Amino acid sequence: MKPSDHPDPFQQARVEQGVSEIDDQNDPVQMVLRLKDVRKCAHNWKTYSSEATPGRIVVPSEVNIRDTRQIPFEVDPPKHGAFRELLDPWFKRPLQDDYRDKLRAQISSLITEVIQQNSIEAIHGFSLLLQSRALTILMNTPESEADTFISWGTHVFRSEDDPLDAGKAQQLYDYIDQKIDEAETKPSEDLFSTLLAAEVEGQKLTREQIKGIIILTFAGGRDTVINMVTNTLAYLADHPESLKRLRDEPEIRTRAIEELIRYFSPLTHMGRVATEDAQVCEHAIKADSRISLCWASANRDETVFEKPNEIVLDRKINPHVAFGFATHNCLGATHARTIMQVLIDELCEKVDHIDFLNAEENIEQWGEFDRKVGYHKLYLAFHSA
Ligand code: EMZ
């Protein structure tokens, strides 16, 4: 085992049972572990609904810390499609040159900064800064807003000693309310103003709907992107030959990014609520009970991926589900992929190697499964190319 390895805790249960039950605040969840079943259930939104009580499809459940429905994440078709139609163009902006240029400027100056330091703690000294600054481009707000986002820490609903921190969530809700007020009196080109002016199926969005979209924009790509960036740095520090290979063979970078996303699967799983009695792998799923689509397990499925526990930088066939699958595939995926592309390009250009100094792992606990999702602390030293 190398320090940057992420072992697969689900292997035995996936091979032997395909499904495993965990408790979550007295609302149990049957985790679906095989890729084929995960895809089938994700596709079948009529039986496995996302439109339950707000917060219930998230594991751990957020029903006790929020009432606002996140949109389009907690809405089923056909309404879901109408919201996607509105939001997709905005969330595809990362494909535009000026968006990438802004991102490149941010990431390039961040790397220049960390090279000048003897060592850094990568989460607070790099990934959180990168995610927060990049979010200002996605929202089309001034970059100075990033300081507020940074002050919230790595998860908008979690704090160090509380996995469901209602007080912290309130900070975000207050911020969003204030921003909507501002946009009402002084419209700009940002996401708040754009949503205030928008219509879905011929109707203006309600304030509650706007909040639902914005909360998702803040929460959905927060710890996931931060872990993805941090885990990538740890991997490249631990595998200098991979950084060299990426530098020498730019043509493999796109595949390498998908492979890193598969391997790290920053979002372990996402829930659904059964609308009727059903079955997965011969296990009964009762109406109104919860399942989770375990992307992290599906992405190590040995019946699909050769050498599933290895990072094969130029892996050719890679049908991973790290961004979900079917109807609810990740709205922020283009932004996340663009961040990874720019990050890898800039690291190849500016950094010769990274020293892995010290780390404290972040292990999630799901029933019998302990899954490394990233780090609480990661100390690195960057050396200029
Ligand atoms: C929800 C979720 C969305 C949830 C794609 O994931 O991300 C979680 O981090 C949030 O806590 O509310 O937005």
Cβ atoms within 10 Å of 56's Cβ, excluding its own: 20
For ligand 1, what atom is nearest to the CA of residue 62?
A: 12
The DSSP call for residue 265 is: -
- In angstroms, the CA 340 to CA 322 distance is 14
Ligand 1 shell residues, CB under 6 Å: 58, 62, 70, 73, 157, 216, 219-220, 223, 267
Cα of 241 vs centre of ligand 1, distance in Å, is 35
Residue identifier of the C-alpha nearest atom 12 of ligand 1: 219
Q: Are strands 29-32 and 290-293 parallel, antiparallel or unpaired?
A: parallel
Which residue has tokens 């006790």?
64
**pLDDT at residue 86 in the model:** 98
Cα 125 to middle of ligand 1, angstroms: 23
Q: How many helices (H) and strands (E) does the chain have?
A: 15, 12
Q: What is the dihedral of CA 315, 318, 324, 329, to 10 degrees?
A: 100
Share of residues in the chain with pLDDT > 90 (%) = 95
**Nearest residue CA, atom 10 of ligand 1?**
219
- Write the residue with the smallest CA distance to atom 11 of ligand 1: 219
Atom of ligand 1 nearest to the CA of 223: 9
Nearest ligand 1 atom to alpha carbon 332:
5
pLDDT(12) > 80: yes
Provide the pLDDT for residue 54: 97
Confidence band, pLDDT 50/70/90 cuts, at residue 165: confident
User: Which atom in ligand 1 lies closest to the alpha carbon of residue 222?
Assistant: 9
Pocket of ligand 1, candidates 67, 71, 73: which has the most ligand atoms within 8 Å of its Cβ, to mutate?
A: 73
Q: Which pLDDT score is estimated for 347?
A: 98
- Residue 150 φ/ψ, nearest 5 degrees: -65, -35
pLDDT digits (tens, 9 = 90+) for 224-268: 999 999 999 999 999 999 999 999 999 999 999 999 999 999 999
Per-residue tokens: 206? 């309600």
Q: Render pLDDT for 124-139 as a digit per residue (tens, 0 to 9).
A: 999 999 999 999 999 9
Ligand 1: nearest atom to the Cα of 216:
13
- Rounded to the nearest integer, the mean pLDDT of the chain is 97
Q: Please give the distance, rounded to the nearest whole angstrom, from the Cα atom of residue 219 to the centre of ligand 1.
A: 5
Average pLDDT score over residue span 5-33: 97
Among protein residues, the one with the nearest Cα to ligand 1's atom 7 is: 220
For ligand 1, the distance from its centroid to the CA atom of residue 288, given in whole angstroms, is 21
pLDDT-derived band at 42 (thresholds 50, 70, 90) equals very high
Closest residue by Cα to atom 13, ligand 1, is 220
At residue 188, the pLDDT reads 98
User: pLDDT for 336-362, tens place per residue?
Assistant: 999 999 999 999 999 999 999 999 999
Rounded to 5 degrees, φ, ψ at 332 are: -90, 5
pLDDT classification of 142: cutoffs 50, 70, 90? very high
What are the pLDDT digits (tens) for 290-338? 999 999 999 999 999 999 999 999 999 999 999 999 999 999 999 999 9
Which of 53, 56, 57, 58 has the most ligand 1 atoms within 8 A of CB, as the residue to mutate? 58
Per-residue pLDDT band at 162 (split at 50, 70, 90): confident
- Reported confidence tier of residue 167, pLDDT bands at 50, 70, 90: confident
Choose which residue among 63, 64, 216 to substitute to test ligand 1 binding: the one with the highest number of ligand atoms within 8 A of its C-beta: 216
Residue 321: count other Cβ atoms within 10 Å of its Cβ.
22
Nearest CA to ligand 1 atom 3: 220
